[in-house]
Structure 1
Amino acid sequence: MVEGLLQPLNIFLLGLGGGFLIPLLYRLSKRLPAVAFWAALAGIAVISGACLWRLLGGADAFEIQTAGTAPPLAISLRLGLAEGFFAFCVNLAALLGALHLWRRLRDSYTFLLLYLILVMGINGMIMTRDLFNLFVFLEIVSIATYGLFGLGQTRASLAGAFKYIMATVLASSFFLLGTVLLYHVTGTLSIDEMLARRDLIAGPVGTTALVLVLACLVIELKPFPANGWGLDVYETAPAGVAALVSVGVSAGVFFALFKLMPLFAPHLTLVAVSAAVTFLFSNLIGLRQTNVQRMLGCSSIAQMALLVLALALLLRHGEDEALPLIVGGLFFNHLFAKAGLFWLAGAVQRQRIRDWNVLSAGAPFILVFCSLLVAIAGLPPFPGFWAKWELVLRLAEHGGYAWIAVVLFGSLLEAAYLFQWFGRAAKAGRRETGGRVPPWDLFPAAACVALLTIGGVVASWVAGAASAWLHAPLFAGAALLMAEGLPGRAKCLSMLLVVFAAGAWMVQGIGGINGLFAVLLLSGGLVIAAAGLYRSDARLGYYPLMAVLLLSNVALLRASTSLEFFFAWEIITLASTFMLALSTAARGVMLQFLLFSLASAFLLLTGLAIARAVIGTTDLSAFLAAGPVAAPAFVLIALGCMVKIGVIGVHVWLPAAYAKADDDFSAMLSAVVGKVAVFGLFMAAYQAARSDAGLELARAVGWIGMLTTVVAAFLALQQADMKRMLAYSSLSQTGYIITAVALMSHLGWVTALYLVANHLLVKGILFLAAAAVIERTGLKRLEACGGLARRMPLTFAVAIVALVSMSGLPPLAGFGGKWLLLSAMVDRGWYGPLALGVLATLVGLLYMVRFGHAVFLGPLKPEHAELREAPAALLVPQFVLVAGILLLSFFPKLLMDPVSAAIDPQFASTLVWQGMSLELIYAYWNPARAMAGAVGLALLGAVLLWIFYRISRRPSRSGSPTGFFSYYRPLLAPVLASHAERFWGAVSVAVGGAAGTARRVYTGNGQTYALQVLAYVLVLYFFVVAVPMLGGG
């Protein structure tokens, strides 16, 4: 009985029956149409869900033939796995959409009827196996959509609806004409029969028929540039109706295209090119949108184009088995993420982006909003991430690097305008406020987030990355999110306990270099995170994100496949981005940070995809046997890591992010988060060396490292803001690590690990010391401080230890690290980088002296006479880090021995340099000649600069160190004017200009849009018919 009711045909009975019944019930009672509507709509969703469940359990596809006979005398319907998945998703979205639109729908039973008919029509487009019946359902959907546009009740909405009618009527006419011609050449309207007889579709008539049918379906999906009518509708229609058109109607059209795609097999490349152009230009145009719904319309068109692009390319390469994860994942992701964003736009009721203010909408709204943005951008843990990963891998297997560039560049553009929207909406201090969104209005979008989360879990399982430890950071963050009602310090303690417990579990089983990095980053991260106890404010969202960040570091180091590695990399990026967004001062730089991070991630993704195509597996250990053929992969991986590190040229995001982040988070960014990219670079270099790939590029990387060290040191010397100085200093010191990695030798790598440990300890101390100074004085400018050693002696002491260690002066750890590096460069004959290293040592000494003198020495300002020492919560982590420096300085073998053994166990015992094993090097510990020479030259340069300054200064000028630095800064400024900032600024302006030029095709004139549709069909016909004829001629 129940099984008989849960048949696909009953979907149409409920749709048609409900449509006829609603007007009759209205005559009996005005409340009854609502009951019938919800019963019918819920019934449609339940039936499709039940059928899908049975299909997943192994049942045969539902084949339905009406009128008791076979086609063409009967309507043929089919509900297989693909149809069931699409239908159930659309029906579920329609159910949530009706909740969102309910205040409008309930005003008139006509709208209830139209909504129900529209949903039924989409189901018909998905299930029908008859071409003429597909036309009928297409017309039913169009008519119902036209009627629902009436919910707008504005002139702009009615004008947009009229343009929509003009374009879709043209498209339907093409489809009908194409159907007639196909019937003429094949003698059937059954899609299955037509596919079996597709050899008959030839000659001018058959080709024209295919072009007309293809043109209709592509136009319905709104290709560039013939899509202005669609954008106008998305902008002017009620948000709920725009959402239904975006995800529901488009889903029906896309599935119709999917069914008919075998007919278009000779033209798959043309379909892919059209989709690629639409994907790129729609996202480009999205950059210049100021209206929220129009911007979402650009994204919707781009996402559907990506679906068509993926479908065409996968079918062209015969990758049918990848369709469920890639096409299904992209479809599911777009359906619920885009619908949720449209519904949020409707709930907020702010058309212009600048009028949004999510900070006033409440924490639940912010969580839902951010989750949907992350999902639509194709980032983890949602289905779009897993689908894009698999798509890029499949394209790399077939050498489709141009297609990969299109997918990733378009995705970067989309992320740019979506997160630009978030950044503008999160800015505080504006007069326009949004107010809290009622829970009922938020529910449909929140349900979408829940569905996307479930979909992400399923997609990760299909992709083979559903390990509990990989998702543990997200589970920990979600658990801490439930404790957001606790006091600030209680939340910080809870975070530390959760990270310690989960991190200790995750670290188990990690060996080698990965294990050393994991212990170093986890322990260092916990120590620095503990400094958060100095703040008692709530810091909503900060501690859950901190847990996600710290545990994702460990997950990345535990990864055994490239997919696990990339997943953790992206989670680290997202956690860092949103932690920046929590700081009012850093929101302005959040977008720049994210875009460079995504660019580095996409370079990494391309490299990993090429490596997988070469070696045939995503197992990271197999990369060691890749050979020289994998050199491009290692180059791209190294480039991605260097962009994330922020080497000179792509460093523009780093100083602002470090300087404007919360003070304790700046320490985390510099000391811990930056080491993730260093680890990636190290592993790329190690695997390249072991597989004899890309060794000739090592010198270039070494030069990049040393140039970064020198230029960043000069830039640090110029800074007046203490945190910006420390940011450039951090980058400068990281340049040493890059050079050590580039040495491509065991000694170089041991040195790199030693420098990594020293950098973490030093930068953790200095940024926390800066946080202490800012906490007590409220000042960031160096010139505004001075003499604080008298009031903050403990902070002064730990800062001096860190400065001495960073400078490379004996006897602390930095001395040993730089000695090893400079000596190794001499051994390799790298005299050019060596000279830069000496110069960097000189400049480094200057800015370190400047920092120490400006902040702690000199006269104490009168307003600071009553300052207290830094809070214990800031001092204790610094003491722990100082203890680490002392341990590393006086007992270096505690680190060096396990490092040398971990790099390559089979060579550890035979690692010899200058006639001594590594153990003997530190046993003798006699680095006087190399390091003393470098430090001596640096000190000599500093003395000469001081003498020149004293001779040339005017009598009125102060002879203090402050005057010394003030004298040289103007001389250095012209040399160090940041060309990188100008270059990237010019790139931004150029992309914005291109977006402005591209959107000029949208005039708002309906006749122009109709002509563009006709022109698109003619161009399509030209490429399908005329170009092959010319080629044949």
Structure 2
Amino acid sequence: MVAALFHPLHIFILGLGGGFAIPLLYRLGKPWLTLGFFIALCGIVLVSGVSFYGLLDGGDTIEVLTAGALPPVSINLRFGLWEGFFTFSVNVVALLGAWHLWDRLRGNYAALLLYLILVMGIDGMVMTRDLFNLFVFLEIVSIATYGLFGLERTPAALAAAFKYIFATVIASTLFLLGAVLLYYVSGTLNIDELLSLRDQLGGPIGTTAILLVFASLVIELKPFPANGWGLDVYETAPSGVGAMVSVGVSAGVFFALLKLLPLFDGLLTLLAVSGGVTFLFSNLLAIKQTKPQRLLGYSSIGQMALLMLSLALLRQIGADASIPLVVGGLFINHLFAKAGLFWLIGVLRRHGDDARAILSRSPLLIGLLGLFLVAIAGLPPFPGFWAKWELVMRLTAAGKPYWIVLILTGSLLEAGYMFHWFVRALAPSELEAKARPNIAALLPLFGVAVLLIAAAYMAAVFSGVVSAWIFSPLAAGALFYAADRLPGRVKGVLAVIAIGLIGSLLCEGSRGIAGLFAWLLLAGSLVIAAASLYRDDVRAGFYPMLVVLSLSIPALLRSSTSLEFFYSWEIITLSSCFLIAKCRRAGPHVLTFLLFSLLAAFFLLAGFANVAAIDDSIALSALIHSGPEANRAFVLLAAGFLIKAGAIGVHVWLPGAYTEAEDDVTAMLSAVVSKVAMFGLLIGTYLTIRSEVGLELAHAMTWIGMLTALFGALMALRQNDFKRMLALSSMSQTGYIVAAIGLMSHLGWVTALYLVANHMFVKGILFLALAGVISRTGTRNFADVGGLAREMPLTFAMVVIALVSMSGLPPLMGFGGKWLLLSAMTDKGWYGLAVCGLIATCAGFLYMLRLLNGVFLKPRPPQRPQVREAPVMLLVPQLLFVVGIVVLSFFPKVLLEPVSAAIDPQFAATLVWGGMSLESIYGFWNPTPVVIVVLIVTAIVFGLGVLYYRSRRGNARNAPDFYHFYRPILSRTVPPVAQMFWRGISHFALVAAARIRRVYTGNGQTYALYVLLYFLAIYFASTGLSPAGTP
């Protein structure tokens, strides 16, 4: 009874019946019209949903033949899992879209009729198994779409609709010609029969027929450059109609391509090329776009092109088993996220000039915008992330690296322009919002947001992720977001408790080096999270992201597979990005941070895929067992981790992001988050240990580390902003850790872990100390501060301890780390690296002295009033870090013993170096000639600098003047080469986009010509200049 009541055929009964009834109901009154429309539309949703659930519950595929006759007289339908998935998803979005569009649909019986017929037509395109019926439903959808375009009466909208009609009529004509020719050569239009006869359709007529049908469907999906007509419609149509064209009509056409795919097996390369070119160029051209709906048009075309590309490549390599996850994930991700973005634009446009002010001042709308943009960018936890992971894995295993480069390049471009929109939305508006959207208008947005989250969980399960703990950071963040109206310090206390409890549970699952990192970084996160209590304002959105970030780090360190690792890595990236974005001044730097972070992530994705292709496993343990063939994987992984670490050349994101982030966020980024990349480098070096050229790669990585240390220090010396100086100092100090890892020895790894702990303590103290200075003085400029040693003595004392430890002077722990590092390099015979390290250390002394003198020791500027000591909630965390430095300086076994136990026993036989055990070295704390050389060289360089300055200026008593004199020298000897290079890349992309966009003339006749030329290009690319089907 239930099965009969919710039979899929009732979708068409409700659609056609509702269409015929709507004019009659209109005569009865508008309430009847509304009731009839929603009964029909909700009925369609209910029928497709119940039928789909029946299939999921083990039911059989439903076959339908209407009117007791055979096609084409009857309608031949099929409702299987694929059909149920597509129709139910599209129908739910159509129902929410009707609610969003209701202001235009209300009382307009023609629009209501067209909308209902549109939904029915899309379902028909998905369910039909007859080629002629497919043509009929395609025409029904086209006619309904033409009519709905008329809801917008502006000249631009009407002109765009006319161009759309021209292009789709050409495509429909091609499809009809192809269907006629296929019937001529096969005697049937049944899709299943055509697929079974595809080997017999190889003659000239059959080949031409297949090409006509193929070209028609590809053109309907708006390939580059024959897609200007689609972009114009996306820009000018009402947002609700644009959404239906983007996610509904395109879904119907794509499913038609999917069901006919076996017929196009000989055209898979052509389909992949069409999809790949369109995906890349659509996203490239969009980077110059400023109009939101046209921007979404580019993205919509690009997403459908990615679906085409993925489908063709997976079919080509025989990975049909991955099609449900990849195609299904990309489809549902685009469906919900893109619909939400179109509707969000529509909601804001109703408020006219207030739209920007409303968006920038509404955390809720910013949150929804961010959620949809993260999904469209293919980032976790949404379905697009899991789909792209699977796609890259399968393509790597099949040896398709060039396609992977294209996909990841297009994805990076798409993330770039989407998050550029996000950054612009965050920019404060000078206008005050006169009104805000009501809850009813936002219901469709909430609906697709919930559906997107549910789809994310299902995609994760489908990907094989069964560990619930991996979602605990996001779950905790969601709870804090729900409680975001609580007072700031209440949220801060709750955040510290949540990080401590949940983080401890996550750390318990970590072992070895990962466990050591997990507990160390959790401690650092707790201390810095407690420091955030120095502010008593609400800080909307801050604590949810802080909790997500702090918990994602131990989650990453608990990972046992590369998928879990990569998932948590991306969550760390996103939460860091949103925390940086909390500071409105950070706008331009947010985008740079995100793009370089995504570039790093894509290198990691490619590296993990290479390891999986070698060992047929995504377990992180596969890194240990990989052999010499893993060289490419190591290079990819190392590149990703070095980008995220801010290594020289790819450091350009770091100074701005660290400087412009809120002060306690900067402390978290430098002291804690940067160590995640160090852990990644450690696990990545397993590959080189078992590689034939491991030593060469390690040597290169060590050079990168030392050059990062050197140039980071030199750039720090040039800064007048002391927070920016400390940011570059963080880059420099990270370089030492990279160099230690690159030593590829047991001693090197112990040194690296010791330096990691020292760097976390030191940078935690310094950035929190400067947060106190900034909060009291209101400035970051050396010229505006000074004399704070008397006014902020506790801060001064802790900064001195941190600087001594960072400089590597005895007796604090920094001394031991740098001593071991330089000595180990000398022992390996890497004298050039040792010299580079000495020079970097000298430069480090200079900027540390400048920081101490410029902020605390020089006279107080006359214009600056006297200030108080830093807030207690900043001093206590600094004191905790000082305790850590002291304990590990005088009781090194506290760290040495767990380090010794954690290091892989296969790495080296013993912890013996230079005839002394490591424990003995630390136990006696016996300075060697290496340290003496460092001090002598430093003194000589410093003395020469003083002599040179005196010869130039005659007086070296004024320390600020001393530091002024060398800055012109550094400006000439250390030009911003990396910045110029990356700006050149950005400029090239923008210029290329501007020039290629000239193909979009806006002329309807030109667009129609493009469509015809595109068909000819497909024809000749498939057949050459010979007639179809001939040799």
**Deviations 1:908-928 (CA, angstroms, capped at 9, x unpaired):** 772211112222221232123
1:678 aligns with 2:700: no
Counterparts of 1:393 and 1:434, CA distance in 2:
50
Q: Does 1:106 align with 2:110?
A: no
Hey, what does 2:263 align to over in structure 1?
A: 263
Mapped partners of 2:884, 2:749: distance in 1:
20
Describe the superposition over 1:530-572 as per-residue Cα deviations: whole angstroms up to 9, x where unpaired.
1111101111010110000010000110000000000000000
CA separation in 1, counterparts of 2:922 and 2:694? Answer: 31
Distance 1:973 1:249 in 2: 57
Q: Is the CA contact 2:33–2:107 (under 8 Å) kept in the aligned structure 1? A: no
Amino acid aligned to 1:992: L
Cα distance in 2, alignment partners of residues 239 and 128 from structure 1: 29
Give the distance between the partners of 1:1029 and 1:748, measured in 2 at CA. Answer: 67
Per the alignment, residue 974 of structure 2 pairs with 976
The amino acid that maps onto 1:998 is I
> What is the letter of the counterpart of residue 1019 of structure 1?
A
Aligned residue for 1:789, secondary structure, equals: helix
Q: Is the contact between residue 634 and residue 694 of structure 1 (CA under 8 Å) also seen in structure 2?
A: no
The code of the aligned residue for 2:470 comes to: L
- Report the Cα distance in structure 2 between the residues aligned to 1:361 and 1:798, rounded to whole angstroms: 39
Kept after mapping to 1: 8 A contact 2:514/2:558 = yes
Residue 138 of structure 1 corresponds to: 138
Q: How does 1:220-239 map to 2 (within 5 A)?
A: 220-239=220-239
Contact 1:901 1:908 in 2 (8 A): no
1:325 aligns with 2:325: yes
In 2, the alpha carbon distance for the partners of 1:708 and 1:383 equals 37
SS in 1 for 2:260: helix
CA contact (8 A) 1:627 1:693 kept: no
2:953 and 2:756 mapped to 1: Cα distance?
40
Question: Which residue of structure 1 aligns with residue 839 of structure 2?
Answer: 839
Q: Which residue of the partner structure matches residue 500 of structure 1?
A: 500
Shift of 1:527: 0.4
Moved more, 301-310 or 922-931: 922-931
Distance 2:925 2:906 in 1: 25
Q: Which amino acid is the alignment partner of residue 92 of structure 1?
A: V
Change (3 A) 1:726 1:1029: farther
Q: Which amino acid aligns with 1:989?
A: H
Counterpart contact for 1:357–1:427, Cα < 8 Å: no
Residue 31 of structure 1 aligns to which amino acid in structure 2?
P
Question: Which stretch has the larger CA shift, 460-469 or 17-26?
Answer: 460-469
Partners of 1:202 and 1:246 in 2: CA distance: 34
Deviation at 1:979, TM superposition (A): 1.0
Offset, 1:84: 0.5
Q: Determine helix, strand or coil for the equivalent of 1:586.
A: helix
Distance 1:753 1:358 in 2: 48
Cα pair 2:525 2:672 within 8 Å, conserved: yes
Map of 1:213 onto structure 2: 213
Contact 2:946 2:956 in 1 (8 A): no
In structure 1, C-alpha distance between the alignment counterparts of 2:881 and 2:265, rounded to whole Å? 64
Aligned to 1:20: 20
The answer to whether residue 32 in structure 2 is matched with residue 45 in structure 1 is no
Matched, 1:156 2:156: yes
Matches within 5 A, 1:67-216: 67-216=67-216
Change (3 A) 1:584 1:526: same
Read off the aligned partner of 2:979 and give its amino acid letter. E
How far off is 1:350 after superposition?
Answer: 7.7
Which one of 962, 965, 970 corresponds to residue 964 of structure 1? Answer: 962
Match of 2:1018 in 1: 1020
- 1:1014 maps to amino acid: L
Taking structure 1 as reference, are residues 1030 and 176 closer, same or farther at Cα in structure 2, changes over 3 Å only?
closer
Q: Secondary structure at the match of 2:78?
A: strand
Q: CA deviation at 1:691?
A: 5.7
Shift of 1:864: 4.7
Aligned alpha-carbon RMSD (Å): 1.7
Give the stretch that moved more between structures: 859-868 or 921-930. Answer: 859-868
- Using the TM superposition, give the Cα deviation of residue 860 of structure 1 relative to its aligned residue in structure 2, in angstroms: 2.4
Q: What secondary structure, in the 3-state scheme, does the structure 2 residue paired with 1:67 have? A: coil
CA-CA distance at 1:430 after TM superposition: 3.4
Range that drifts further, 922-931 or 404-413? 922-931
Taking structure 1 as reference, are residues 434 and 86 closer, same or farther at Cα in structure 2, changes over 3 Å only? farther
Letter in 2 for 1:525: S
Whole-Å Cα distance in 2 between the matches of residues 358 and 594 of structure 1? Answer: 25
Q: 1:165 to 1:842 in 2, by over 3 A?
A: same
Q: What does 1:134-533 align with in structure 2 at a 5 Å threshold?
A: 134-349=134-349, 356-357=356-357, 359-431=359-431, 435-533=435-533
Q: Which amino acid aligns with 1:292?
A: P
Q: Which residue of 2 aligns with 1:573?
A: 573
The aligned counterpart of 1:715 is 715
Q: Is the 8 A contact 1:291 1:353 kept in 2?
A: no
Percent identity, aligned pairs only, is: 59
2:994 equivalent in structure 1:
996
* Matched residue, 1:1006: 1004
Aligned equivalents of 1:750 and 1:469: distance in 2?
30
| Amino acid of the structure 1 residue aligned with 2:191 | I
Distance in 2 between the 1:268 and 1:429 partners?
A: 49
Give the counterpart letter for 2:478 in structure 1.
A
Name the stretch that deviates more: 444-453 or 899-908.
Answer: 899-908
Alpha-carbon distance in 2 for matches of 1:593, 1:964: 34
SS of 2:64 mapped into structure 1: strand
Q: In the alignment, what sits opposite 1:766?
A: 766
1:482-504 Cα distance to aligned partner (Å, 9 max, x none) = 22121111111110001111001
Q: Residue type of the partner of 1:592? A: T
Distance change >3 Å, CA 833–CA 350, structure 1 → 2: farther
Contact 2:223/2:275 (8 A) holds in 1: yes
1:687–1:512: structure 2 CA closer, same or farther, 3 Å change rule? farther
User: Paired residues, what number?
Assistant: 1031
Tell me the CA shift for residue 70 of structure 1.
Answer: 3.8
SS at structure 2 position matched to 1:464: coil
Give the Cα separation in 1 of the matches to 2:31 and 2:354.
40
Deviations 1:709-729 (A, max 9, x none): 111101001100011100111
Contact 2:30 2:107 in 1 (8 A): no
Describe the superposition over 1:549-598 as per-residue Cα deviations: whole angstroms up to 9, x where unpaired: 01000011000000000000000000001111111111221000000000
Structure 2 letter corresponding to 1:972 = L
Question: How far 1:951 moved relative to its partner?
Answer: 2.4
Normalised to the residue count of structure 1, the TM-score between the two structures is 0.98
| 1:958 Cα deviation after fit | 5.9
**Structure-1 residue corresponding to 2:743:** 743
C-alpha displacement of 1:115? 0.3
String of CA shifts for 1:285-330, please: whole Å, max 9, x gaps.
Answer: 1111111100000000000000011111111111111111110000
One-letter amino acid of the structure 2 residue matched with residue 155 of structure 1: P
* Matched position secondary structure for 2:370: helix
SS of aligned partner of 2:870: coil
Distance in 2 of aligned mates of 1:876 and 1:359: 38
Given residue 366 of structure 1, which amino acid in structure 2 is its aligned partner? I
Q: How far does residue 351 in structure 1 lie from its aligned partner after superposition? A: 11
Q: What is the CA–CA distance in structure 2 between the aligned matches of 1:612 and 1:301, rounded to whole Å?
A: 31
DSSP 3-state at the match of 2:788: coil
User: Does the alignment pair 1:661 with 2:661?
Assistant: yes
Which of 981, 984, 987 is matched with 1:986 structurally?
984
CA contact (8 A) 1:86 1:126 kept: yes
- What is the CA-CA distance between 1:847 and the residue it aligns to? 0.6
- Compute the displacement of 1:361 (Å): 4.9
* AA partner of residue 974 (structure 1): R
Q: CA deviation at 1:907?
A: 6.4
Q: CA deviation at 1:695?
A: 3.2
Alpha-carbon distance in structure 2 between the residues aligned to 1:929 and 1:919 = 19
Q: Decide which moves more: 87-96 or 925-934.
A: 925-934
AA of the residue aligned to 1:201: L
Distance 1:692 1:530, change over 3 A: farther
How far residue 357 of structure 1 moved from its aligned partner, in angstroms, is 4.2
Deviation per CA, 1:507-545, whole angstroms, max 9, x where unpaired? 113111000100111001110111111101111010110
Deviations 1:607-639 (A, max 9, x none): 001110111000001221110111101110000
TM-score normalised over the length of structure 2: 0.98
In structure 1, the residue corresponding to 2:30 is in which secondary structure?
coil
The reply on whether 1:807 has 2:807 as its aligned counterpart is: yes
